[in-house]
Amino acid sequence: MRVVKSPIWLRLLLPKLIWHYPRQGKHIYLTFDDGPIPDVTPHILNILKKYHIQATFFCVGENIVKHPEIFQQLKAAGHQIGNHTYNHLKGWKTSTNEYLKNVEKCQQYTQTNLFRPPYGQCTPKQFSQLRKKYRIIMWDVITYDFDQRLSAEACYKNAIDNVTNGSIVVFHDNIKATARLYDALPRAIEYWLQQGFTFKMITAS
């Protein structure tokens, strides 16, 4: 079952994580997970540049090492960088010690106090340790652009039907997402602009 909008009970269970921002203003926080990836990440950068939008990219350490020039493009364009572990680990299947070491390995490259767990998975102990150093950014809306069973239209609807003021929205700059991402992202941005939303970047403080 796809849970597009983070449920209230989960936000209440983990209130010290950041799920969304204040609901008073018509702001959206676009985020992208898993890059940097050739072709995909630069394509997103071009879309964001077209609409003059700054976003937050939660990067995987090994992808930074493989594609340092794309990572530099992200930074040069002024986007915010977040830590997404070095090897895209599942916290539930990884010991706390190994998980924290993997996060710190990624941190050598990202140099940020923003962290998002891959798959949204961390154990309570992992969360507790990570919160000592990082602001843990979850999400309000996940588009499921990575789900290859999903149509581009369904991905687009996931985005526009669930966003509210202050939403943190997740797309992915990975290969699996491209068929849906390339179609849904610019359409969603244009829809949100028509609805009077502005876009903000997640800050490190």
Task: Give me the active site residues, please.
Answer: 33, 172
Tokens at 41, concatenated? 């990440």
User: Any bridge partners for residue 32, and if so which?
Assistant: 57, 171
Sorted by sequence, the CB contacts under 8 Å of residue 188 that are 6+ apart come out as 156, 159, 160
CB 25 within 8 A of CB 165: yes
User: Any bridge partners for residue 30, and if so which?
Assistant: 169
Tell me what percent of the chain is helix, strand and coil, each rounded to the nearest 5: 45, 15, 40
